[in-house]
Structure 1
Amino acid sequence: MSVTKFAIPEVIFGNSSLRYLGQCALRLGARRIFLVSDPGLEDAGWVQRVINILSEDKLECIYFNEVDSNPRDWQVHKGAQLYNEEHADLIIGLGGGSPIDAAKGIATIASNGGRIRDYEGANRIMRPLPPMIFIPTTAGSGSDISQFCIITDVERQLKMSIISRSLVPNVSIIDPSLLLTKTSELIIASAVDALAHAVESYVSKLASPFTETQALFATSLIMENLEPAARTRDPMALEKLSIASTAAGMSFSNAGLGIGHALAHSLGGRFDVLHGLVHPVLLPHVMRYNMKVCPAKMERIASTVLGSCTTSGASQALAGIERLESLFESLGVTTKLREILPDDSQLEEICKMAVPDECALTNPREATWVDLMGICKEAW
């Protein structure tokens, strides 16, 4: 086996684990906290809960909430300016992938300067970032433990992938009880995002035994727990989805992703589409495209998805993909690209923008913009 690496933060997991936040911040030497979140979490009461926990340990808090569902570059720049003006010394990201990615971007600019587009690509962050603690409130993005940061470049209408070991936080506090206030729609979208992380990283060119184990584990947990979590908000199922999201995050953070995420970034940058809505549409078609070059791995994914198999080889792999399609339809999520785009007039440009995305580099099968166009037409 070639040399590989596996990077993750310290993880504190479990219901009510949020109560350890102040202790973690103090251990990292914090006195003035820069908290990044969004209005939705304010309304749910979680922002005030975090502020109260910090105040119990006499920690000051500067709060920043100018974060959209696809965080913009100008929001990152504004947050970094405020961070430095307030002489903060630690960043907390509370939320789904958007507030946490915004927190990563703010940390990058606060310590390295420049504009966030300067760091697009892999391994371009040269100076250490401020200490970071992330608290995910969804079970899907994996941003709380990953080396990835996705920020929208408003001028180019493009979601940039920024990848660096520096973006892995010091601590991730994963408290599944935070999921109880989420809608069924958000639970589903987040879980399917995690499933796409697991599948794409499992077949990635950079996959290793360390990432493959986590990817299959995540896939199994999602298939077993997505429906009860979405339909009844069963606390145990929600906890299992949190574990799955964390495992999938460990996998894709170290193995990379694929063309499904490259297309999702291009679509999100152009049309501001919610990231979780794209994967039920694209994932089955991306899997069919990749099956030609990694049939054994697709068969193993199908075995995990189906639970038990009566076929083998290509038939089994296709049965697994069809099972995912029927699951998505039964959950009532969008499964056609035409349902989230106004028309197909910009598909060619979207596909051309997706080709150089960092996520496309680790896809197991090389894809031209014409290949991506074919996938989009199949999904249309």
Structure 2
Amino acid sequence: MLSTKFAIPDVIFGRGAITHLAQCAKRVGAERVFFVSDQGVEDSGWVGLVKGMLRANDLECVYFNDVNSNPRDKQVQEGVEIYREGKCDVVVALGGGSPMDAAKGIATIVGNGGEIKDYEGANRIMRPLPPMIFIPSTAGSSSDISQFCIITDMERRVKMSIISRSLVPSISIVDPQLLVTQDRSLILAAGVDALAHAIESYVSKLASPFTDLHARNAIQLIIANLERAAEEKDIEALEQLSIASTSAGMSFSNAGLGDLHALAHALGGLCDVLHGWVHPTLLPSVMRYNLPSCMAKMGEIGRLVTGLNTGSDRDAAMMGIEKLEQWFEKLQLNTKLQKLVPNREDLMHVCNMATHDACHLTNPRPASAEDLMSVCEEAW
């Protein structure tokens, strides 16, 4: 077996864990916090709570919330200027993947200079970042765990994948109670994103025994709890989703992803669609394409999804893929790519862009732009 590495932040997990934020901030040397979130989290009341906790512990706060659902390179640069003007020393991010990725982008430039596009790809960040403390408000992106940062290059209309050990936050505070204020659609989008993280990292070229363990755990927990969490806001189910998202993050951060995410990044840059809504349309088709190159692992995924322990690897894999398709329809998720892409003519451009994404490198089966086009046509 090849040598592997496994990098994660300090993780503080549990209901009410958010109350440890000020203590954690002081532990990493905070005096003037740069706090990143967005309007949706503000409306839920969590931003006000965090500001109050920081203020009560004599920590000054500079707040930044100019973040889209797919954070832009210009927004990152704006945040850098505000960070520097405010003479901040620690980055705190609260929200889904967008505020956390924006915060990572800002911290990258604060520590290394230049523009965020300079760091596209893997291992291009050479100097330390300010300490980062992240609090996820969704159970999906796992940006609070991962070595990934996704920022949209507005000129090229593509979501850049930036990958570096330096992007792993100092501390992740995972509080399942934050999920209670999420609506059904966001819980589902985040949950399917986490499922895609787990499945793609499980079959990745860089998968290891350590990442496999977390990927399998995430798949089982999401299949068992997502529907109840979304429909009933059951706190036990939401807590299990938080565990699943964290496990999926530990897996994909270290094993990488695949062509589903390469395509999702290209689609997000071109069409500005919510990341989580791409996966129900493309995940089954990508799994079918990859099946010949990872039959045993796809069979194991099929058994985890269906709960059945019979049949050949191929049969189990196909049953699992069909079960996922049926499950997505039961959850009333869009499974047609044509509803996300305004013009079918754009698909070839999307597939070409996907072959340049860092996630493409760890897909278990080699794929040309034409191969990816066949995947998209199947999902159309």
TM-score, normalised by the number of residues in structure 1: 0.99
Shift of 1:308: 1.8
CA deviation string 1:305-344 (max 9, x = no partner): 1112342221111000000000000000110001111120
CA deviation string 1:341-360 (max 9, x = no partner): 11201101110010010000
Q: Which amino acid aligns with 1:286?
A: V
Q: Note the aligned Cα RMSD (angstroms).
A: 0.6
SS at match of 2:11: strand
1:131 match:
131
Q: Is the 8 A contact 2:144 2:169 kept in 1?
A: yes
1:156 match:
156
1:48 match:
48
SS at match of 1:128: coil
Q: Which amino acid aligns with 2:11?
A: V
Shift of 1:289: 0.4
Q: Which amino acid aligns with 2:293?
A: V
Q: Which amino acid aligns with 2:173?
A: I
Shift of 1:43: 0.8
CA deviation string 1:261-300 (max 9, x = no partner): 0000000000001000000111000000000111000000
Give, in whole Å, the separation in 2 of the partners of 1:231 and 1:333. 13
Structure 1 segments of 4+ aligned residues over 2 angstroms from their partners: 309-313
SS at match of 1:217: helix
1:104 match:
104
Give, in whole Å, the separation in 2 of the partners of 1:370 and 1:141. 29
Q: Percent identity?
A: 63
Does residue 1:199 correspond to 2:204, yes or no?
no
Does residue 1:33 correspond to 2:33, yes or no?
yes
CA deviation string 1:154-175 (max 9, x = no partner): 0000000000000001000000
SS at match of 1:69: coil
SS at match of 1:292: helix
SS at match of 1:11: strand
Does residue 1:141 correspond to 2:141, yes or no?
yes
SS at match of 2:293: coil
SS at match of 2:78: helix
Give, in whole Å, the separation in 1 of the partners of 2:188 and 2:309. 25
**Pairing 1:166-315 to 2, within 5 Å after superposition:** 166-315=166-315
1:331 match:
331
2:13 match:
13
Give, in whole Å, the separation in 2 of the partners of 1:57 and 1:313. 56
SS at match of 1:134: strand
Q: Which amino acid aligns with 1:27?
A: R
Greater alpha carbon shift after TM alignment, 334-343 vs 8-17: 334-343
Does residue 1:320 correspond to 2:320, yes or no?
yes
Q: Which amino acid aligns with 1:114?
A: G
Q: Is the 8 A contact 2:351 2:370 kept in 1?
A: yes
1:70 match:
70
Give, in whole Å, the separation in 2 of the partners of 1:309 and 1:286. 23
Q: Is the 8 A contact 2:111 2:128 kept in 1?
A: yes
**Pairing 1:55-94 to 2, within 5 Å after superposition:** 55-94=55-94
Does residue 1:374 correspond to 2:377, yes or no?
no
Q: Which amino acid aligns with 1:301?
A: I
1:354 match:
354
Give, in whole Å, the separation in 2 of the partners of 1:101 and 1:223. 26
Shift of 1:230: 1.0
Shift of 1:107: 0.2
1:365 match:
365
Give, in whole Å, the separation in 2 of the partners of 1:227 and 1:78. 39
CA deviation string 1:85-125 (max 9, x = no partner): 11000000110000000000000011111000000000000
Q: Which amino acid aligns with 2:325?
A: E
SS at match of 1:3: coil
Q: Which amino acid aligns with 1:122?
A: A
Structure 2 portions without partners, runs of 5+:
none
Give, in whole Å, the separation in 2 of the partners of 1:28 and 1:72. 28
Give, in whole Å, the separation in 1 of the partners of 2:314 and 2:131. 47
Structure 1 portions without partners, runs of 5+:
none
SS at match of 1:34: strand
Give, in whole Å, the separation in 2 of the partners of 1:327 and 1:191. 13
Give, in whole Å, the separation in 1 of the partners of 2:321 and 2:232. 25
Give, in whole Å, the separation in 1 of the partners of 2:312 and 2:135. 41
Give, in whole Å, the separation in 1 of the partners of 2:20 and 2:230. 28
Shift of 1:191: 0.4
**Pairing 1:106-121 to 2, within 5 Å after superposition:** 106-121=106-121
Q: Which amino acid aligns with 2:338?
A: R
TM-score, normalised by the number of residues in structure 2: 0.99
SS at match of 2:292: coil
Give, in whole Å, the separation in 2 of the partners of 1:76 and 1:376. 31
